[in-house]
Amino acid sequence: MTESNQPAPQPEEPTSVPTSAGQTDSGAREQGPSLPEPGQPDPLQGGSGQAGATHVPAGLGDVPASFTSAQPQVPSPDAGQTQLGGPGPGQQLPPSGSGQPHPLGLGATTAQFGAEQPAGPPSSPFAGPQGPQTGQYYLPPGFQPPPVPQRPKGRGKVVAGVAALVLIVGGLSGGLGGYLGYTFANDSSSVSSLDSPRPASQASNAPAGSVEDVANKLLPSVVQIQVTTRSGAGEGSGFIISGNGQIVTNNHVIEGAASGGDIKVVFQDGKTATAKILGRDPSSDIAVIQADGVSNLPVVQLGNSGDMKTGQAVVAIGSPFELSGTVTSGIVSSVNRPVSAGGDRNSQATVLNAIQTDAAINPGNSGGPLVNMQGQVVGINSAIYSPSQGQGQAGSVGIGFAIPMDQARRTIDEIVKSGKPKQTVLGVKVESTEQGAKISEITGGGAAEKAGLKAGDVITKFGDRRIDESDTLVAAVRSKAPGDKVTITLSDNRTVEATLDGVEVG
């Protein structure tokens, strides 16, 4: 009896394959053809009925009823019997269709092995003497795989020894390099920046006309102004115009102290002094204060703002956010810009004919100088534009305004000499229209009435300057001095000559 406990098949009477061979249980796989009856031609072999058509498992469960030519049959040592590499010859496969497991674990067999094949070892595991054979293919009985060549003894040790040697040599090299590097780093003969002598202090060699050159000239003459009142405290900037302590600033910086308060001046070298108001003009937002107990102070040089051109470089100096001695630079963004700054903001009297700049100007810069690249003061920083409407403090957005020095100089001179500056006036009240500035009211005995102007007239030009709104006319008048003559053009193309008046303020 074999391992399957079935009678061993006789060589001369092969067991016929059941009609169900090759079928699956579910019908999901194809039905294979049946083997021919003994003595009938094998349709797969194409021969004359030779027994031996073989149908073997593929190792994945039930197998197809035929095998491909790519897997030739290996001759069996015993006719009608196939050795499976078991304990000895004569070991038999289970009968076909028995459902017994294949001895090699390839599933149930579905065909009986045929007659003995011609003897002769195959030239290769996949070809017989006649070329590829049909039927199943198994390893020959007692087949042993060729021995794997063994590495020569001692080779691994030699390689390991070489690797160890390399590591040792590498370790020695690294240690030697580290030692040499440490020795070199600590060698007194090596170059070190710390051993170089400190260079001697050098005097400034800033090129003339540079921002650094301008800053060097102006910083000693710029001061910080601190004001303390009963209602609070504030701060701004100013610049020295006389060695005995006369300082120019904005009216809105010190106006809190006009009705009682303290003013302290902080100089660039850190020294301080108390100060008092000499005079102020709310309409032009200009004031002059006098520092106490000082002398021989460095003074600024006043320039000509009428020469300023759009695009010209400028420098702003002051104490933004209490940061004294701050220097910023930029250009002149525009000239003759009508701006309301300081004083009574509900009155057109506070409108300035300002220089616009993109040099950073922030709270605390007010009253500080705007300087050209020759180091001459051409304006007084007075206002900034900020879109912020919140409770926070406004900051620079690159749109700052300065009072032109040509306009400020006259006011400063009047304050120093008499303490009573004069405001330039035309003697009208105006409002904006699409054509220009419309006169709504005439001051009796004023310059406008004397020139023949009437209420309802629309001014379109003031001298050579086009008037597009009321603030533009006010700014244009402020740019002149009392006694100046000017030609005024009206919307009906009439022109009149007017001599401007001056009214004391302050």
Q: How far is CA 143 from the centre of its chain?
A: 72
For 72, how many CA atoms within 13 A lie in the half-sphere containing its CB?
18
Q: How far is CA 34 from the centre of its chain?
A: 78
Catalytic residue (one of 76, 284, 366, 396): 366
**Cα-only R_g, the chain:** 56
Q: Does the annotation count 366 as an active-site position?
A: yes
**232 within 8 A of 226, measured Cβ to Cβ:** no
Q: Does the annotation count 55 as an active-site position?
A: no
The size of the chain, in residues, is: 506
Question: What is the number of helices (H) and of strands (E) in the chain?
Answer: 6, 21
Catalytic residue (one of 42, 213, 281, 285): 285
Catalytic residue (one of 96, 252, 324, 340): 252
Q: Is the dihedral of CA 207, 209, 211, 212 positive or negative?
A: positive
Structure tokens at 234: 């504030």
**247 within 8 A of 223, measured Cβ to Cβ:** yes
Strand 501-504 and strand 222-229: the pairing is: unpaired
**291 within 8 A of 265, measured Cβ to Cβ:** yes
- Residue 159 identity: V
Task: Compute CA distances 164 → 160, 168, 176, whole Å.
Answer: 6, 6, 18
Cα separation, 245 vs 268, whole angstroms: 14
Strand 351-357 and strand 400-404: the pairing is: antiparallel
Residue 431 neighbours by CB distance under 10 Å: 13
Q: Does the annotation count 329 as an active-site position?
A: no
- List active site positions: 252, 285, 366
